[in-house]
Protein backbone atom coordinates (compact mmCIF):
# COMPACT_ATOMS: atom_id res chain seq x y z
CA UNK A 1 0.00 0.00 0.00
CA UNK A 2 1.52 3.37 -0.96
CA UNK A 3 1.82 6.26 1.42
CA UNK A 4 -1.09 8.69 1.55
CA UNK A 5 -0.40 12.29 0.57
CA UNK A 6 -1.13 15.18 2.91
CA UNK A 7 -3.18 18.02 1.43
CA UNK A 8 -0.71 20.90 1.69
CA UNK A 9 -3.38 23.62 1.70
CA UNK A 10 -5.14 21.96 4.62
CA UNK A 11 -1.86 21.48 6.49
CA UNK A 12 -1.27 25.24 6.33
CA UNK A 13 -4.80 26.17 7.42
CA UNK A 14 -5.41 23.68 10.23
CA UNK A 15 -3.38 22.66 13.26
CA UNK A 16 -3.91 19.58 15.41
CA UNK A 17 -3.48 19.99 19.16
CA UNK A 18 -1.84 17.50 21.48
CA UNK A 19 -5.25 16.24 22.56
CA UNK A 20 -6.30 15.69 18.92
CA UNK A 21 -8.58 18.68 18.36
CA UNK A 22 -8.38 20.34 14.94
CA UNK A 23 -8.04 24.12 15.19
CA UNK A 24 -8.84 26.65 12.49
CA UNK A 25 -8.34 30.37 11.92
CA UNK A 26 -11.03 32.88 11.01
CA UNK A 27 -11.52 34.16 7.48
CA UNK A 28 -11.73 37.83 6.38
CA UNK A 29 -8.61 38.72 8.38
CA UNK A 30 -6.56 40.38 5.63
CA UNK A 31 -9.00 42.55 3.68
CA UNK A 32 -10.15 46.04 4.80
CA UNK A 33 -8.57 45.90 8.22
CA UNK A 34 -8.65 49.68 8.72
CA UNK A 35 -12.43 49.60 9.16
CA UNK A 36 -12.38 46.87 11.79
CA UNK A 37 -12.10 47.60 15.49
CA UNK A 38 -9.10 46.56 17.58
CA UNK A 39 -11.23 43.97 19.32
CA UNK A 40 -12.29 42.35 16.05
CA UNK A 41 -8.73 42.35 14.73
CA UNK A 42 -7.50 40.73 17.92
CA UNK A 43 -10.15 38.02 17.57
CA UNK A 44 -8.74 37.09 14.15
CA UNK A 45 -5.45 36.03 15.76
CA UNK A 46 -7.03 33.26 17.82
CA UNK A 47 -7.38 29.66 16.69
CA UNK A 48 -10.85 28.15 17.12
CA UNK A 49 -11.85 24.47 17.29
CA UNK A 50 -13.31 23.06 14.10
CA UNK A 51 -17.04 22.29 13.97
CA UNK A 52 -17.70 18.59 14.63
CA UNK A 53 -19.42 18.11 11.26
CA UNK A 54 -16.21 19.14 9.43
CA UNK A 55 -13.74 17.05 11.43
CA UNK A 56 -14.08 13.95 9.24
CA UNK A 57 -13.40 15.90 6.05
CA UNK A 58 -10.25 17.50 7.41
CA UNK A 59 -8.94 14.26 8.94
CA UNK A 60 -9.12 12.74 5.47
CA UNK A 61 -6.95 15.57 4.13
CA UNK A 62 -4.44 15.24 6.99
CA UNK A 63 -3.88 11.47 7.27
CA UNK A 64 -0.77 11.76 9.47
CA UNK A 65 -1.97 14.63 11.65
CA UNK A 66 0.46 17.17 10.28
Residues in Cβ contact with 47 at an 8 Å cutoff, skipping those fewer than 6 apart: 15, 23, 24, 25
The C-alpha angle 45, 63, 66, rounded to 5 degrees, equals 40
Predicted pLDDT of residue 28 = 84
**CA distances for 40 relative to 8, 23, 26, 37, 45, angstroms:** 28, 19, 11, 5, 9
Query: Using one digit for the tens of pLDDT, what is the confidence trace for 9-64?
Result: 999 999 999 999 999 998 888 888 899 999 999 999 899 999 999 999 999 999 99
Report all structural domains of the chain as residue ranges with CATH numbers, in order of start. Answer: 8-61 (4.10.410.60)
Neighbours of 66 (CB within 10 A): 14
Amino acid sequence: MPKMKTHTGASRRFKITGTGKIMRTKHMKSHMRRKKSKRVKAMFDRMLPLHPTQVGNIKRLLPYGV
